[in-house]
Amino acid sequence: MHITRRHFAGLTLAAAATTLGAAPSFAGPDIRKGTLSGRQGYTVSGTVKIKKQDGKTVVHLAEDYVFDPSKNPPDIKIGFGNHETYAKGSKIHDKLTVKKGAASFEVPASIDVDNYDELYIYCEQFSVILGVAPLK
């Protein structure tokens, strides 16, 4: 068996990560996470986690999630995008009615979350971003 420098370097890094107690980036249920902040005068906060569960991708709003209870936009959705620009076709459900606390939403298989660096809470009817969570 012939091992190239590239293979050796990869094996060395994986061994070092295992020895130091760090899991490789592709391991574990968390894919990405971020913290919501409001836009357009809306108060939106809380932690967002995107996980793989049973072969599906799921967006979790954590227990600390809060959407401004004093405001009631007509058509709230969750979707993805980049650089504060919502990507059409990235909507993950029909209507967000949860304004506080934990909730989970399955991401359609047609949406590859790796293509996006932000999760949005937005009003589809008026094309207004209400909250953004940069994803890491």
The sign of the dihedral angle between the CA atoms of 109, 110, 112, 118 is: negative
Per DSSP, 98 falls in state -
- Whole-number Å distance between alpha carbons of 1 and 81: 45
The partner residues of 35 in beta bridges, in order of sequence, read: 47
pLDDT by residue (tens digit) across 71-109?
A: 999 999 999 999 999 999 999 988 999 999 999 999 999
- Whole-number Å distance between alpha carbons of 53 and 59: 10
Please give the model's pTM, rounded to 2 decimal places: 0.76
pLDDT by residue (tens digit) across 18-32?
A: 334 433 333 346 689
Give the amino acid at 37. Answer: S
Reduced to 3 states, what is the DSSP secondary structure of residue 19? helix
Domains and CATH numbers, the chain: 28-134 (2.60.40)
